[in-house]
Amino acid sequence: MDTKNVVQVQIFGHSYTIRGEANQDYIMGVAAYVDRKMREITEKLPVASLSKVAILASLNIADELFKERAQIQTQEQRLNHQAARLNAVLDDMLEESASR
Amino acid 2: pLDDT: 62
Of 16, 21, 24, 19, which is closest to residue 6 (Cα–Cα)?
19
**pTM of the predicted protein model:** 0.77
Cross-strand partners of 5 = 20
Quickly count: other Cβ atoms within 10 Å of residue 52's Cβ. 13
Interatomic CA distance for residues 62 and 45, integer angstroms = 18
Of the listed ranges 15-24, 27-36, 38-47, 71-80, the one predicted with least confidence: 38-47
CA dihedral for 55, 57, 58, 59, sign (positive or negative)? positive
